[in-house]
Chain A
Amino acid sequence: MKIILPVEKEQENTDICQSLGRTPYFMLYDTNTGSSEFFQNPASNSPSGAGIEAAQAIVDSGANTLLTPRCGNNAYSVLKKTGIAVFRTIPGPAISNIHAFLEGDLSELDTIHEGRHHGEN
């Protein structure tokens, strides 16, 4: 499975970014190989629609699971169509969150917050 997280830098022990839509990078961890790749978030400097654009990038990455501190309702609308599971991160670097998830210690993200623009059609 592939797990994706919003991160500050391109390193496994980097901090999780508190914003999903405007995170500078995403980390994509492959449980088969145990290795991580990183890519820039195309939405990090977008004037608008960042949550939507970031969610599209997440969908396109092929990830099945997202670990994030928060998620806006626009991004969530995009993610739920592919059945990506969304879990809430805990304090600590990215790699610790991966391990916590694999040990079953993370819980699903249950509060989706209102974005600046609300809702899809």
Chain B
Amino acid sequence: MKIAVLSGKGGTGKTMLSVNLAAVATPSTYVDCDVEEPNGYLFFKPEDVRPEIVSVLVPSADPNICNGCKECVRFCKFHALAHSGEHLIVFEDVCHSCGGCSLICPLNAITEHPRTVGVVESGRSGEVTIHTGRMNVGEAAGLPIIRKLMKKISESGQERIFIDCPPGSSCTVMESIRDAEFCVLVSEPTIFGAHNLEMIVELVRTFDKPFGVILNKRLDGEKDPSEEYCHRNCLPILGKIPFDHELGILNSEGKIASRENGRFFQMFKDIYDHITECVSI
């Protein structure tokens, strides 16, 4: 069972939820797809960490074969290539690694070599397997790292997999939910939260993914724009997590609340049970 946890808006509690769900539903796997700013590992503090470099292929031309015809320069839609002073210049961080230039070069002068863009670190914390994707600082996009993460979990055959998605609704989020069977949407009781919830509801519907909403950081006796949004649109609410000072402190210190306190264990277990009910429907 693959469950993706996403939010649209950042900071709503995606990581707290996915980390704690993985912790109560052992044996399980936690996957951190927020490769620009991964945080899950701060909570699990994984052991036996094995890194796997993520690289993309970038081209270079053999100067002894290249005759400067510039067929590749004209072909490249991203303008990652230029030919100047008898050299083919490759702008590696503009290159999308499509492999086109290498394929179409009339003299077969272009070969590809790997360029490191990030890393996937795999480790363990008790009965939880952790895969963390981390994009190198200075890189433009994290898609290759997420693809590697997704490949890893599709090969793993693990039973319960919790995917911590990046914020937003761009291509990295889409890649993260591609194989998910169920999506948990996390929101907060602000108009910003409700606005971004709307965005990701549209996203999961486009992918025909069954989903449910968790209303997080609820303030006692206050209106919750996200809850109102759910009611107006008849969206399934999986659970409501109150704004809790103790939970906040544990979280800010990188502690896994469900492992620290029986009351939080129960809270996350209940949410997990509710999710499994929804998944089996």
Contacts and interface: CB of A to CB of B under 8 A. Distances in A.
Which of the listed residues A59, A78, A120, A121 has the most CB atoms from chain B within 10 Å of its own CB?
A: A121
A117 B84 contact: no
A117 B79 contact: no
A120 B90 CA distance: 6
Given A77-B89, A118-B138, A121-B92, A52 B84 contact: no
A51 B32 CA distance: 35
Interface in A30-87: 43, 46, 48-50, 52-53, 55-56, 59, 74, 77-79, 81-83
Contacts of A117: 91, 93-94, 140
Contacts of B84: 55-56, 59, 78-79, 81-82
Nearest to A77: B89
Given A117-B140, A118-B138, A52 B82 contact: yes
A81 B78 contact: no
B60 A49 contact: no
A119 interface: yes
Chain A contact residues: helix, strand, loop or mixed: loop
B73 interface: yes
Contact of B80 (A49, A50, A82, A118): A49
Which of the listed residues B79, B94, B115, B140 has the most CB atoms from chain A within 10 Å of its own CB?
A: B79
Interface of B: 58, 60, 73, 76, 78-87, 89-94, 115, 138, 140
15 contacts: A49-B80, A49-B91, A49-B94, A52-B80, A52-B82, A53-B82, A55-B82, A56-B83, A59-B84, A74-B91, A117-B91, A117-B94, A117-B140, A120-B89, A120-B92
Given A120-B91, A121-B60, 17 more contacts: A49-B76, A49-B79, A49-B91, A52-B79, A52-B80, A52-B91, A52-B94, A55-B84, A56-B82, A59-B85, A77-B82, A77-B89, A81-B84, A117-B91, A120-B90, A121-B92, A121-B115
